[in-house]
């Protein structure tokens, strides 16, 4: 059995096209997985590529907005159809958070346009964000979205959240059988936008409006100045505070 086939058997049971969600584990042993070079805190790779809304110069298109780059495995597949319909439905939520969303697969432009009709028909929401037609695999290879031991015509189901400074703030990869939870992706955007503006972190299962945690680098004296409403000390390193206003709440 070859190295590649072992990966397919271990991860891709029922979906032999590519390994389901195991890229992180392969990174150290397989430096050829180029996407592992796109790390948190690094500048998102820039590119120029055609899309359903014309040619996209990625960094220029982002401007001063937050961005979400979503890759989907293939057009005319059931899970991807539901995902892109949900992204379209959430247009007001993205706008409220100053987020631009862009999709990607290696399907050609005419296939994107035809599939868009199916999405509108079955999901009740027409596409209102661009889909990159990456049929030359330029962007997919730049971000490491083609698994080396898999079908080269299928991209990994991935998410990149990018801040206004063009830095990558979150990466996620999903197995082909599991659609993304966009409530969670919105929640992470809310957390990032909140914690960028204040010296706090968000605890387990946090949602906008819930108490947050004061970061340990803030002294009690500084905390009293920053949070005059008061805070609760559970341990010296664990101080909980309720904020008056939070993104998304």
Residues assigned a catalytic role: 80
Q: For residues 185 and 191, what is the distance between their CA atoms, to the nearest angstrom?
A: 10
User: Which tokens go with 70?
Assistant: 């979503």
Quick check: 209 and 80 in contact, CB under 8 A? no
| Cα dihedral 213→218→221→226 (10° resolution) | -60
Cα gap 160→8, rounded to integer Å:
25
Which of 139, 157, 180 is CA-nearest to residue 34? 139
Residue 30 is encoded by which pair of tokens? Answer: 């397989």
Quote the CA–CA distance of 193 and 172 in Å, as a whole number: 18
Token readout for 187 is 């929640």
Please state, in angstroms and rounded to a whole number, the distance separating the CA atoms of residues 173 and 88: 20
């Amino acid at each position: 059995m070859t190295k590649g086939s072992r990966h397919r058997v271990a991860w891709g049971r029922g979906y032999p096209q590519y390994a389901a969600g195991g890229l992180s584990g392969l990174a150290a042993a397989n430096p050829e997985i180029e996407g592992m070079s796109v790390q948190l805190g690094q500048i998102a790779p820039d590119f120029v590529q055609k899309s359903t809304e014309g040619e996209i110069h990625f960094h220029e298109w982002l401007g001063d907005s937050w961005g979400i780059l979503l890759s989907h495995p293939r057009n005319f597949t059931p899970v991807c159809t539901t995902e892109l319909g949900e992204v379209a439905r959430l247009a007001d939520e993205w706008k409220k958070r100053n987020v631009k969303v862009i999709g990607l697969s290696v399907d050609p432009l005419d296939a994107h346009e035809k599939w868009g009709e199916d999405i509108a028909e079955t999901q009740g929401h027409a596409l209102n964000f661009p889909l990159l037609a990456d049929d030359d695999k330029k962007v997919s290879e730049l971000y490491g979205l083609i698994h080396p031991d898999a079908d080269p015509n299928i991209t990994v189901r991935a998410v990149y959240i990018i801040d206004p400074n063009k830095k990558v703030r979150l990466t996620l990869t999903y197995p082909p059988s599991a659609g993304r939870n966009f409530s969670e992706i919105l929640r992470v955007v809310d957390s990032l936008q909140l914690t960028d503006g204040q010296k706090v972190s968000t605890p387990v299962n946090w949602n906008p409006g819930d108490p947050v945690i004061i970061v340990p680098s803030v002294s009690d004296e500084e905390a009293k100045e920053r949070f005059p409403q008061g805070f609760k000390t559970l341990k010296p390193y664990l101080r909980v505070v309720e904020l008056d206003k939070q993104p998304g709440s």
